[in-house]
Amino acid sequence: MMSATKAVFVLVHGGWHNHSAWDRVTPLLEANGFAALTLDLPGAGAHAVAPASLGLRPFDLAAFAAERSPIAGVTQEERTQAVVKLVKEAASLSDGKVILVGHSAGGMTVSAVAEQVPNLLLAVVYLAGFMVPNGMPLLAMLQHETLSSALAPSLFVGDPAAIGATRIHAGSTDEAYRSLLKASFYGDVSESEFAHAASQLHCDESNAGALAPSQITPGRFGTVPRHYIRCTQDRAIPLTGQDHMIATVDGAIGGKTMTHTLESSHSPFLSQPATLSKILIDIHAQSLAQQSAEAP
């Protein structure tokens, strides 16, 4: 029986990924006595629907670039509610205390969840995640000069406005494209692990997630202790962009984001799962100490 004092981790994947991103981290958390819950967000993983053109042989890049996305209608609110539901489930297992972790674009969802159910969260953690001030969409942050060296936009296929999604071609056999995909997300991951990771990616991320403005307020989101795990070798969300987001949200919301640093690419859950798990467990200890210090 799990001790009621231990929080449950809820782990939210990033863009084009699914719950399997966490497959190396969850056993390590569980080995330390924590429960860890994951999901495929609406439109992702098991809920992803590929454009029909992806399966055409011979493959027609022009058709793939032009076809409207089958998941164009997926909204940020659907994703937020899916994670709120999982957080409530986690809270029922953990005496009401949950540590919510969001990777990359999953940061938009964990921010929205922290705004909705701040009382259920012991902490919110961004792993090289989009932590974006109130009123700003992910896309506007991605266009900021501190993210100008990001490699991921060079992977995009077709016109997102026309197809309703940000599309990548994870199964591409083009060597230049594959090496760009690896450099963007998995720079410090072995070639065979990269091949497996790429095989798990879906091609479309609904534009709704990139265009929905962040809605975070000091009175709700701002009451949840927040942590940011900086990834120094990240080429999807460069470190300059990570630090810009931390400074911007701290300035807008007040309080201070607690930072942790990994010498890793964008995907430390693959390249450094043990180090990442240790940081998450340390965050749990810090959060409990902070909570008891603030208790009347």
- Can you give the pLDDT at residue 5? 55
Report the percent of the chain where pLDDT is more than 70. 98
Mind listing the pLDDT tens digit for each residue in 126-141? Answer: 999 999 999 999 999 9
- Can you give the pLDDT at residue 96? 77
pLDDT at residue 4 is higher than 70: no
Mind listing the pLDDT tens digit for each residue in 63-104? Answer: 999 999 999 999 999 999 999 999 999 999 988 789 999 999
- Can you give the pLDDT at residue 249? 98
Domains and CATH numbers, the chain: 8-294 (3.40.50.1820)
Q: Which of 15, 30, 25, 38 is nearest to 100 (CA)?
A: 38
Backbone angles phi, psi at 78, to 5 degrees: -60, -40
- Can you give the pLDDT at residue 296? 79
Question: Who's near 131: CB < 8 A, 6+ residues apart?
Answer: 107, 111, 226, 228, 245, 246, 249, 257
Q: How confident is the model over 21-28, as a mean pLDDT?
A: 98
Distance CA 204, CA 45 (A): 10
Q: Which residue has the tokens 């993983």?
A: 45
Mind listing the pLDDT tens digit for each residue in 162-178? Answer: 999 999 999 999 999 99
pLDDT at residue 194 is higher than 70: yes
- Can you give the pLDDT at residue 133? 97
Report the percent of the chain where pLDDT is more than 90. 92
Question: What pTM does this model have?
Answer: 0.97
- Stretch among 59-73, 88-102, 109-123, 182-196 having the lowest mean pLDDT: 88-102
Question: Who's near 172: CB < 8 A, 6+ residues apart?
Answer: 178, 181
Distance CA 72, CA 86 (A): 24
Mind listing the pLDDT tens digit for each residue in 39-58? Answer: 999 999 999 999 999 999 99
For residue 85, count other CB atoms closer than 10 A to its CB.
Answer: 12
